[in-house]
Amino acid sequence: MTTTTKTKLPELLAPAGNWECAEAAVENGADAIYFGLEKFNARMRADNFTIADLPELMEFLHLRGVKGYVTLNTLIFPSELTEAERYLKNIIAAGVDAIIVQDVGICRLIRHLSPDFPIHASTQMTITSAAGVEFAQSLGCQLVVLARECSIKEINKIQKQILEKNIILPLEIFVHGALCVAYSGQCLTSEALGGRSANRGECAQACRMPYDLIADGENVYLGNRKYLLSPQDLSGLEVLPELVKSGVTSLKIEGRLKAPEYVANVTQVYRKALDEIAKFNHVEKIKAQDKYNLEMAFSRGLYTGWFEGINNQALVHANFGKKRGVYLGEVTQIQNEQITIKIAAPVKPGDGVVFDSGHPEEKEEGGRIYTVVETGKEVILTFGRDNLNFRKIRKGNKVWKTSDPELDKQVRQSYDGEYPQFTRPINIEVYGEVGDKLIVIADDEIGNLVKIESEIFLVEAHTKPLTEEKLREQLGRLGNTGFYLQTLQNHIIGNVMLPVKELNKIRREVVTKLEELRSKPKLWQLNHSAKWQDLINIESSPISDAPSLIVLVRNIEQLKVALSADVKTIYCEFEDPRNYKEAVKISRELNSSASIFVAPPRITKPGENWILQQVKNADADGYLIRNYDQLAYFADAQCIGDFSLNVANSITADYFIKEFNLERVTASYDLNINQLVDLISSYKPQFLEVTIHQHIPMFHMEHCVFCAFLSEGTDYTNCGRPCEKHEVKIRDRVGTEHILKADTGCRNTLYNGTAQTGAEYVQKLIDLGLQNMRIEFLNETPAQVETTINYYQQLLRGKITGLELWKTLKLQNQKLQNQLGVTRGALSN
């Protein structure tokens, strides 16, 4: 765990859901905090700050040497652009240090409003490669937050590749906290199941729920392992030296929904570890107390996530999906309202515990310990009267410590005091000689400099001259301030004397003037007259007579049906891109007039251009673009932007059309019918595409469920490829069976088991001038594909109404066992 060269420490970035969390972060050594405001942030359930809090908050942070970043990391809908513009002007004027952004259009708008205000590309932008970093740079971003799925090896590759391209853009990574199972910015689960969008800060945490695994129509017995999609929490402490060595600029702690005790606890542990690296160039073995503190702060189990590569067995243990804490031991005996456990961690009266019977979805027994009696490797615990139902506790139950009031008290003391507890260094130089005034020059860690002169002159000292020791003693008395004296240089000539009272006065003036300088707001350039409408030029254009039906198929049999159904544009999205060549050949033999587009996988990581080459080898008519690598790789071909580019407003759509010469872009699946109407009305309809029938792709994840639960392997090298042998579904708590697919990069997509149709709204979209409407198939039979295409062709020709089609599909849904089931999900009001 030793670093070979001395490396500049990265910034430690802590979350703050409210004022107390901000104070907890500052007093425990955070270099920066990130926080949301009352709108447009990806943690709308946090307390959050208001726009009116910004001046006071930024003054507090800057006084303490801490930066403050606002999260505006959601998609912005067309009707919100004017409000977002006003919001951004307020944020920039308040002197915030940077803004964390997901929406491409908002990046453009910020740069339009201010040429120098810092933009950080959110992890919600799903950046996994050097091409993604380059894309962020083209938007004017000053920093990129990489996807959590990047390993240290991949981070190093990205650093090397951007250096070769002469891209000087700092990288930030998440180092600790909850792990989303899906790629951030690519999770549509909350939207699909409950109309709450993760891209709008309303994640319902469906990944933390229990599921059943079904392979080839049969339940797979997994014992108590029900939480198939709930990763352990991320902890990068074990690999911190490697992360520092990788040259990342910022280490981010997740947790804007967490309590201030969590923020203080985790920040403190990582601050100590980073300071140890700075001092000794390495970290000794992880201290048991630090591991204990992190587990007590919040833990579903701690793991290095994807930092050390893919290990599907370790990432998701599947036993529970909620906070546990520290593993205390196992119940060995229950007698006379006393519980004996084989102990695995320290325990004391007052600690809170929970008994794990293997059914975390049910109400679990737990309470505070009243007494502890040690008997060798076991302890006997008693609890308060009527705290537990002893009949529900069994021998063999696991016991978890979920609360440690003593630790909580210690942690709260770190930020509850009246005076600053985490201090920043200042350096002092002292000049003078007999007959002159004493001059004190002080600077802080961020470059502020002050000069103070004594009011009285120095006189010759006969007994007690101003020695360096005395100067250090008097000028270093900074105990109730936010500073400590780091270095003092004494340049006094001869033996001089100055009253202690005068030295104390100089010290207070140094502190006051430094605080004044630190508290000043950052001044960014801001064009108050700039408008978001300046960024797009809407020109009227002729609309073709007939709308076009586009069909996406996922196997050769479905393709053949689409080709025989007089469909003019067909997208192929196959699990194995090597089959695209055959698909293109068949399409040209059966229907030479149809345009065939093929889709690369949704994620591209360093070293995966071989997959894109396989896609290109098919020699298709065009490509369905999913990410930033593909924008660059297929730049000379006919391309259409897919939903994964998250086009939610006209500024974003315009950027992809103009900058990358895309034929059109697909509207984000986060838009409901009213927002789609707004988008089509505010941009050129011929450049937009809307998906009106599909199984929504809910989770798109690096975690491979096939590997984790249908093999004993850790990744594709040793799993035996169960994805090629089994049809797998995941059943949720209400009985819906969702369809699981793997792509060529071994990434999994979980599709909603119930299809969605927007048939009722098609005529409305046609009336607005929309010409391109897509329907998607997943595991439908050729007969079902043929019937469904026919219905939608009739709908677009005006031969049936959307309501008639919807009712017909509902009827077929009953016959086809939800194969063409309908929810009104993302297209509903």
pLDDT band of 196, cuts 50, 70, 90: low
Two structure tokens written together for 814: 């009953």
pLDDT at 262: 96
Q: 562-598 b/e with 16+ CB inside 10 Å = b?
A: bbebebebbbbbbeebebbbebbeebeeebeebbbbb
pLDDT band of 489, cuts 50, 70, 90: very high
Q: How many CB atoms lie within 10 A of CB 223?
A: 8
Q: Report the candidate in 359, 365, 356, 349 with the shortest Cα–Cα distance to residue 326.
A: 356
pLDDT at 281: 74
pLDDT at 187: 85
Query: How many residues are listed for the chain in this entry?
Result: 829
pLDDT band of 292, cuts 50, 70, 90: very high
Higher pLDDT, 826 or 519: 519
Quick check: 188 and 203 in contact, CB under 8 A?
no
pLDDT at 3: 42
Alpha-carbon span 692 to 773, nearest angstrom? 6
CA contacts within 13 A on the Cβ side of 240: 28
Whether residue 825 has pLDDT greater than 50: no
Q: pLDDT tens digits for 717-745?
A: 999 999 999 999 999 988 989 999 999 99
Q: How many CB atoms lie within 10 A of CB 321?
A: 22
Domains in the chain, start-ordered, CATH in brackets? Answer: 11-179+231-306 (3.20.20.70), 325-413 (2.40.30.10), 424-519 (no CATH), 546-695+755-827 (3.20.20.70)
Quick check: 550 and 689 in contact, CB under 8 A?
yes
Q: How many CB atoms lie within 10 A of CB 137?
A: 17
Of 539-548, 553-562, 775-784, the one with minimum mean pLDDT is 539-548
Position of tokens 């990489």?
146
Q: pLDDT tens digits for 349-383?
A: 999 999 999 888 889 999 999 999 999 899 999 99
- Is 564 strand, coil or helix? helix
Write the DSSP string, 417-452: SSS--S-EEEEEEEEE-TTSEEEEEEEETTS-EEEE
Q: pLDDT tens digits for 506-536?
A: 999 999 999 999 998 899 999 999 999 999 9
Higher pLDDT, 91 or 280: 91
Q: Is 636 exposed, middle or buried (0-12, 13-18, 19+ CB in 10 A)?
A: exposed
Two structure tokens written together for 276: 């140890």
Over its C-alpha atoms, the chain yields an Rg (Å, rounded) of 31
Q: pLDDT tens digits for 679-713?
A: 999 999 999 999 999 999 999 999 999 999 999 99
Higher pLDDT, 116 or 194: 116
Alpha-carbon span 496 to 502, nearest angstrom? 13
pLDDT at 756: 85
Of 239-243, 551-555, 754-758, 798-802, the one with minimum mean pLDDT is 754-758
Alpha-carbon span 16 to 66, nearest angstrom? 13
Of 53-62, 585-594, 699-708, 764-773, the one with minimum mean pLDDT is 585-594
Alpha-carbon span 733 to 808, nearest angstrom? 28
- Is 207 strand, coil or helix? helix
- The mean per-residue pLDDT over the stretch 263-279 comes to 94
The rounded mean pLDDT for the chain is: 91
Alpha-carbon span 266 to 234, nearest angstrom? 12
Alpha-carbon span 242 to 248, nearest angstrom? 10
- The mean per-residue pLDDT over the stretch 635-658 comes to 96
pLDDT at 38: 84
pLDDT at 194: 58
Alpha-carbon span 787 to 820, nearest angstrom? 11
pLDDT at 592: 82
- The mean per-residue pLDDT over the stretch 576-599 comes to 94
Quick check: 15 and 258 in contact, CB under 8 A?
yes
Q: pLDDT tens digits for 220-268?
A: 999 989 999 999 999 999 999 999 999 999 999 999 889 999 999 999 9
Whether residue 543 has pLDDT greater than 80: no
Q: pLDDT tens digits for 449-481?
A: 999 999 999 999 988 899 999 999 999 999 899
pLDDT at 777: 96
Q: pLDDT tens digits for 429-443?
A: 999 999 999 999 999
- Strand 697-701 and strand 748-751: pairing? antiparallel
Q: Is 363 exposed, middle or buried (0-12, 13-18, 19+ CB in 10 A)?
A: exposed
- Is 149 strand, coil or helix? coil
Whether residue 59 has pLDDT greater than 50: yes
DSSP 361: T
pLDDT band of 540, cuts 50, 70, 90: low
Higher pLDDT, 158 or 736: 158
Of 243-252, 314-323, 661-670, 804-813, the one with minimum mean pLDDT is 804-813
Alpha-carbon span 182 to 186, nearest angstrom? 7
- The mean per-residue pLDDT over the stretch 173-202 comes to 79
Q: Percentage of the chain with pLDDT > 70?
A: 93
Residue 548 backbone phi and psi in degrees, to 5: -110, 135
Q: pLDDT tens digits for 112-140?
A: 999 999 999 999 999 999 999 999 999 99
Higher pLDDT, 418 or 505: 505
Angstrom CA distances, 4 to 9, 245, 246, 263, 638, stand at: 14, 8, 12, 31, 48
